[in-house]
Structure 1
Amino acid sequence: MAMTLRLSDEENARLDELAVAEGRSKQEILRLALNDRWARLHKEEQLSEVLGRVLPRYRTLLDRIGTV
């Protein structure tokens, strides 16, 4: 799917700098950034889910450790 992305001159210069430094196209830099942000979002959701299951199970122990 094609799309238009409007960047400020400063943002475009940063994107150019990244592309040259990494030897990648500007398009590839943006795809990688998107995938990184998506993975980070889902990692946080998974962590929240695990903590929601585990913390209640160990709440008493954690409270005791916190008072030692």
Structure 2
Amino acid sequence: MAMTLRLSPDQDRALTLLAEAQGSSKHEAAVRAIVTAAARLLNDAAVADLARDVIPGHAELESRIRRTRG
């Protein structure tokens, strides 16, 4: 699927630096960043779900942390 990605100059510079660090194109760097972020988010969600089931009181602790970040 084709998609146009509009970036600010600062975002474009960050993507350029990321691509250079990876030795890849900006397209490949963007794709890798998306996949990495999605995997981390899904893994974090799975860990949080497991913690809610396994650690007594985790839900209350998580709720308190979220309120303080608020």
TM (norm. structure 1) is 0.71
Counting only pairs closer than 5 Å after superposition, residues 27-38 of structure 1 correspond to structure 2 as: 27-38=27-38
Counting only pairs closer than 5 Å after superposition, residues 1-68 of structure 1 correspond to structure 2 as: 1-56=1-56
Cα-Cα RMSD: 1.5
Deviation at 1:17, TM superposition (A): 2.1
Instruction: List structure 1 runs of 4+ shifted beyond 6 angstroms.
Output: none
Larger Rg: 1
Unaligned 5+ segments in structure 2 are: 58-70
TM (norm. structure 2) is 0.69
1:9-49 per-residue CA deviation (whole Å, 9 max, x = no partner) reads 12112212222232101011001110111111111111111
Q: Distance in 2 between matches of 1:17 and 1:52?
A: 38
Overall identity of the aligned pairs, in % = 39
Unaligned 5+ segments in structure 1 are: 60-68
